[in-house]
């Protein structure tokens, strides 16, 4: 048996991060890893190719506390340890009969050069690329796409003609929400944090309208202007004032689909909740519903075949923001909170 030991570089947090992340919160560490799978271990050794970089990960970097909700699908991150994330990898060695050297796989890997995983724990699947780039399987054909799809259809129960508002609309999920809603025949408006992003939404992705929230003095009036007939579905990625303004502009029986809360992610404690006018919730029979994409994996194949078909017929576009090199993960990650990214943020490792 080959016993090649390899230096495996990985990104770790130095300590829990409870405010806005900075580069010095992270470190590039290394450990030695055996690149062969022990017989009987069911281990799979992976060479990591692309990893996902997502805003929700900051939530997992905070100091764990009873009042700080997380989920088994997104456990807390321990300082100094490897960080688990969605990624695409190539099998280097395998003691699992379902995987063999050379397979492309996707699942929960790490911000690291190599990972040794077990199939079940990592939700590892052989990747059917459908002849699309590997990165698409982290974004438009991966968890970002599934989040947009189930948020809009399964949670939001969107219907043709609905008036849909999306915040963080140029982000990994937001841009796909808008594209799916347009394909269904909805009126779609997005908010974003730069004029460049606004232009992308309107000119490249077919949004009916978009606005730069940094230029707005009164979000309620802004939304009233863009939605003279009210909002039916608000796909919320940010919370706080934007959520409050959207609720004020919602139609009776409107639905708020809560996918993320970027306004809360980097606020130091004590974090105050988003102020919601509950009278509006009652008098307009509004529903606010949070969801985790991990509860909707049963619709993944259905979603993937639809999205792939839209991609093939050029009805959808993949917007990606790809950095190269493990050492660039911290800056790519921090950029999410500065609004630097456009579309899906991915780091190419190998």
- Residue appearing with tokens 């009916």: 208
Interface residue with its own copies, options 1, 69, 160, 314 (CB under 8 A): 69
The CA distances from residue 327 to 19, 23, 45, 81, 161, in Å, are 22, 11, 21, 16, 45
The CA distances from residue 254 to 286, 291, 305, in Å, are 5, 17, 29
Which of 123, 95, 128, 97 lies closest to 109, judged by CA? 123
Do the beta carbons of residue 149 and residue 307 sit within 8 Å?
Answer: yes
* For its own copies, the closer CB: 37 or 77: 77
d(CA 293, CA 296): 5
299 lines the binding site for its own copies (CB under 8 A): no
292 lines the binding site for its own copies (CB under 8 A): yes
Total binding residues toward its own copies, as defined by CB under 8 A:
43
- Judged by CB under 8 A, the chain residues 70 through 89 that form the site for its own copies are 70-71, 74
281 lines the binding site for its own copies (CB under 8 A): yes
CB of 119 to its own copies, least distance (A): 26
Which of 132, 82, 85 lies closest to 104, judged by CA? 132
Question: How would you classify the pairing of strands 209-212 and 187-192?
Answer: parallel
Which of 304, 316, 299 lies closest to 206, judged by CA? 316
288 lines the binding site for its own copies (CB under 8 A): yes
CB of 286 to its own copies, least distance (A): 5
276 lines the binding site for its own copies (CB under 8 A): yes
230 lines the binding site for its own copies (CB under 8 A): no
245 lines the binding site for its own copies (CB under 8 A): no
216 lines the binding site for its own copies (CB under 8 A): no
In the stretch 20-59, what mask flags binding to its own copies with x, by CB under 8 A?
A: ---------------------------------------x
Q: Which two tokens stand for residue 66?
A: 């009873």
CB of 195 to its own copies, least distance (A): 27
Residues near its own copies (CB under 8 A): 59, 67-71, 74, 220, 236, 239-240, 243-244, 248, 252, 258-261, 264, 271-292, 295
């Amino acid at each position: 048996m080959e016993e090649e030991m390899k230096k495996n570089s990985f990104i770790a947090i130095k300590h829990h991060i409870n405010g806005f992340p900075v580069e010095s919160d992270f470190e590039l560490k290394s450990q030695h890893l055996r690149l062969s799978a022990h017989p009987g271990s069911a281990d799979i050794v992976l060479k990591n190719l692309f990893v996902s970089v997502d805003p929700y990960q900051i939530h997992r970097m905070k100091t764990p506390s009873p009042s700080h909700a997380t989920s088994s699908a997104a456990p807390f991150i321990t300082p100094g340890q490897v960080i688990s994330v969605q990624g695409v990898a190539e099998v280097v060695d395998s003691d699992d009969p379902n995987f063999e050297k050379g397979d492309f796989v996707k699942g929960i890997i790490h911000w690291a050069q190599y990972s040794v995983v077990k199939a079940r724990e990592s939700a590892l699947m052989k990747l059917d690329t459908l002849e699309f780039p590997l990165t698409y399987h982290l974004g438009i054909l991966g968890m970002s796409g599934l989040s947009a799809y189930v948020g809009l259809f399964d949670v939001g129960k969107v219907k043709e003609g609905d008036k849909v508002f999306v915040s963080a609309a140029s982000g990994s999920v937001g841009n796909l929400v808008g594209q799916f809603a347009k394909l269904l025949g909805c009126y779609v408006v997005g908010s974003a944090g730069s004029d460049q992003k606004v232009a992308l939404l309107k000119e490249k992705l077919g949004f009916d309208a978009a606005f730069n929230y940094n230029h707005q003095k009164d979000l309620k009036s802004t939304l009233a202007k863009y939605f003279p007939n009210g909002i039916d579905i608000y796909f919320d990625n940010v919370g706080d004032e934007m959520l409050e303004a959207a609720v004020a502009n919602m139609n009776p029986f409107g639905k708020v689909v809560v996918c993320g809360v970027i306004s809360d992610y980097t606020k130091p404690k004590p974090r105050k909740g988003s102020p919601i006018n509950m009278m509006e919730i009652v008098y307009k029979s509004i529903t606010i519903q949070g969801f985790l994409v991990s509860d909707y994996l049963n619709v993944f194949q259905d979603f993937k075949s639809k999205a792939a078909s839209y991609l093939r017929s050029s009805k959808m576009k993949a917007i990606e923001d790809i950095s190269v090199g493990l050492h660039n993960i911290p800056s790519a990650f921090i950029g999410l909170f500065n609004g630097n990214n456009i579309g899906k943020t991915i780091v190419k490792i190998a």
